[in-house]
Structure 1
Amino acid sequence: MEERLGLSGDKLEDAFDDLLYGVRSVSGSVEGVLSHFDKRNIRFRSDRDMNRFVELYSKFSNTTRMPCNRGYTPDEMMQMTPPEERFKSLSLGPNIRKSLQTGEMDIENFRKQILTMELPSEALRFDLLKQLADIKPSAPQPEKQKKVGRNDPCPCGSGKKYKRCCGK
């Protein structure tokens, strides 16, 4: 941080204390930290430096012991959780739902993919299939017929003007 942000002394120590407090209080998202830096007029010299910071901050936050985790790090908590318990549910997003409803995506093809894909638990598969069953394809919209004007030829094919034929 000293080298990349050009911080030294008390300002460097304050920035690190803010980072540590943010991580331990669980409210220290990367966006929050970057916003906090911005408020304190701490700027990165380049996007590359900022990306490197984000990478290091993520590693730092995932390996910091937290009171809310009873002293465990987020990485340790993830390792202690059995794979089938890590993900309880998945939900189909609004774009996928819309694509399935309008027919842009084939529901049956999607169902087959869910049945064959490797998932951590059968409960997830069941949940996805249930969501898929709840999606009702929208009925095709009937094409609106162009309104016939009084002086247009009659749509019955007689050759007369509409007002003199069927439009009476």
Structure 2
Amino acid sequence: MPRLNAGGWKAGDVKIHSGTLDDIPSGWELAADMVDRAVVGAGGAYNVGQQFGADEVTPNITTSVWVNNHTLSLAQMPSHAHPLPTRKPGSSLSQSGYVNIDVVSTATRTSPLNSNNAGSSHAHAHGAGASSSSSAINTRQKSIAVIWIRKL
């Protein structure tokens, strides 16, 4: 059904204006809700009057971080000692992982046997790095700017 009738354009009708913003004809106004908007047909995926989209989008970026392998030297290790597991008198000498020391009965010991202190707590560095980047992406389609006016 044509929108033109004997009286011309109906109130609310929208059209492209071929002039400038300063010479919009009497009885018409700038269709402000259409400024900086592209027109998409409604009735399928979009409803009449629905506004959507953006001029730019910033995508999600995955950042990579890594730490280089590093083996501590004796000077870089914290000062520490290790308790020594011991073999009680009369037990087998073949027990794996035990120091071959005959000790006095556990009832008379007041502290465990430990290795000598080692290390000095000096600083050390692993070396590390990270990389990431993101920037806005222009998502506008190729377009031409026009002036949309609406009949009062």
Relative contact order, higher structure (CA 8 A, sep 6+): 2
- Normalized per residue, the structure richer in helix is 1
- Normalized per residue, the structure richer in strand is 2
Greater C-alpha radius of gyration:
2
Name the TM-score, length of structure 2 as normaliser.
0.16
Name the TM-score, length of structure 1 as normaliser.
0.15
